[in-house]
Structure 1
């Protein structure tokens, strides 16, 4: 997601309100909508810097959808027009042929005037964006694309848990995923403090929940853990300072810090997190918050690989399934960008 484009369109005088006018088309197995599940047809466009896109990267990898859905990676920064494929040698995506993600949006909607956001699924034959509904996208990866999952893929959206999961994920989205932005983009002291209290109140609630269970829904990872992880993993590197979410660092919240390390050390989580590009995105693109555009050197990342002790709570991270295999070389992080 581009936070300047997708967020400020909905900002009032004081409180940040994220725009929600996404392209809500779904890619389904039965073809009930305009787009049908078809391996090789769609290209997932992401930016490693973006926490919302990081969700899609993680879920795609956990489920083993790499061969079914190819992936294009944008650079960490963008201008007012859109994300660009500036990491490619010729600055064009080699499959779509585009320089900018904006081109896929305009191919479908010539007068498109909303945010050009990642993640987006692009229909390769037409070059047109199919959907950028980040919340539904990963749930559909888990359900609509099930026939193309790898052997041993975990069940990230277990049917018996969905009602409770949906409630937990809604609170995580409102107060944590979006809550850090509501702190950082607040336009008044009062709005900032309201967002701050809700953020840390919910982090306290999550800490209590996780004190007796290894993962949010029990002994195995689900979509809920993916959604919380992508905010926690950026907390000290970005949100604590840049967005003034500074009651405590993640490393000062014992339960959440151990939980985040547990996830980080699982294949599919930490190996998708680009700390360098995440910092470049937030500290460069948000010039209204950081006008010098200086990117901080810290924090020290070595703690992410230390023992977490969460095994004592029991459970099996992948349930009855197995961990994903090694990353494809073309999707590995650049040297020095991870831990």
Structure 2
């Protein structure tokens, strides 16, 4: 997942397979209905982005989806939710098999989300940030009628700016706090995280969505961290100045998205909790999964938004 600097700061490995599936097929992977399979885990926030985007754009019949279980070992994510522990389309037990089919002995992270070429059984890309942008832009001819513009050209510069800040301080910020190797590194990440959450609260106090007057890629990227905040990040990653439920603007904003089709109906809190508490044994050696917190509040009515 990453490495540590001498200061104890967690540094995420951001080297991914950057091949792209495009309308013109310039990387050798043209957009084709039924050719590719999106592989995800509902536990993973980076994969959850792709799940949501696929739902919102109505690509379910064009791009199939395989779902790995919430836990994994050092080798790979596994298809333990499927009969016989084998993906019914790819015919493999571990997603690493698709990586090794293209790159024998692949040594970087075996991550989700990834997209696999069903015709060859080989992974195409695991570049999670680019995957969702390409689903919006390169797969446009297959979007459902009335599908939202999640990455509209007129807003892209602002979306990119917000996404960069949110990734640095929030999406990756919770990991920088949770995996910090020193008190100083943890304190720095903790401070940056809550400073950014305060900034987001102020921004969203005068608007319904992060950029423009519609749901965009920026909202999706923030949501997948917020929805995990009280369930895992507050306790497991020691991000405990406030719970999300104690930040009124962000809590109302997150519930607004959660109750929007394509968001909350893709969330599995059991998978989320089991992944973090069972897999991260360096942080939680016992592997015990907490019974709380009470997550029923996600269905509470949303206050009128701007």
Q: What residue is the counterpart of 2:193 in the other structure?
A: 199
Q: What residue is the counterpart of 1:322 in the other structure?
A: none
Shift of 1:218: 2.8
Task: Give the distance between the partners of 2:108 and 2:255, measured in 1 at CA.
Answer: 36
Task: Give the distance between the partners of 2:268 and 2:33, measured in 1 at CA.
Answer: 27
Task: Give the distance between the partners of 1:302 and 1:283, measured in 2 at CA.
Answer: 20
Q: What residue is the counterpart of 1:11 in the other structure?
A: 4
Task: Give the distance between the partners of 1:53 and 1:173, measured in 2 at CA.
Answer: 14
SS of match in other structure, 1:27? coil
Shift of 1:12: 2.4
Shift of 1:302: 1.4
From 114, 123, 144, give the equivalent of 1:120.
114
SS of match in other structure, 2:124? strand
Task: Give the distance between the partners of 1:65 and 1:11, measured in 2 at CA.
Answer: 38
SS of match in other structure, 1:233? helix
Shift of 1:256: 0.2
CA RMSD, 1 decimal: 0.7
Q: What residue is the counterpart of 1:296 in the other structure?
A: 290
SS of match in other structure, 2:130? helix
Q: What residue is the counterpart of 1:158 in the other structure?
A: 152
The yes-or-no answer on 1:236 pairing with 2:251 is: no
The yes-or-no answer on 1:77 pairing with 2:68 is: no
SS of match in other structure, 1:36? coil
Shift of 1:287: 0.2
SS of match in other structure, 2:40? strand
Task: Give the distance between the partners of 2:237 and 2:148, measured in 1 at CA.
Answer: 34
- 1:31-55, Cα deviation, whole Å (9 max, x unpaired): 1112110010000000000000000
**TM-score of the two chains, using structure 2 as the length reference:** 0.99
- 1:116-160, Cα deviation, whole Å (9 max, x unpaired): 000000000100000000000000000000000001100000101
Task: Give the distance between the partners of 1:53 and 1:146, measured in 2 at CA.
Answer: 20
SS of match in other structure, 1:28? coil
CA contact (8 A) 1:215 1:221 kept: yes
Alignment of structure 1 residues 58-97 onto 2, 5 Å: 58-97=52-91
CA contact (8 A) 1:259 1:310 kept: no
Shift of 1:310: 3.4
Task: Give the distance between the partners of 2:55 and 2:71, measured in 1 at CA.
Answer: 24
- 1:48-74, Cα deviation, whole Å (9 max, x unpaired): 000000000000000000011000000
SS of match in other structure, 2:38? strand
CA contact (8 A) 2:173 2:192 kept: yes
CA contact (8 A) 2:155 2:212 kept: no
The yes-or-no answer on 1:184 pairing with 2:178 is: yes
Q: What residue is the counterpart of 2:129 in the other structure?
A: 135
Shift of 1:200: 0.4
CA contact (8 A) 1:258 1:310 kept: no
The yes-or-no answer on 1:253 pairing with 2:237 is: no
Alignment of structure 1 residues 94-113 onto 2, 5 Å: 94-113=88-107
CA contact (8 A) 2:114 2:124 kept: yes
CA contact (8 A) 1:214 1:310 kept: no
From 264, 282, 289, give the equivalent of 1:270.
264
Shift of 1:271: 0.2
Task: Give the distance between the partners of 1:161 and 1:298, measured in 2 at CA.
Answer: 39
Larger deviation, residues 215-224 vs 102-111: 215-224
Q: What residue is the counterpart of 1:217 in the other structure?
A: 211
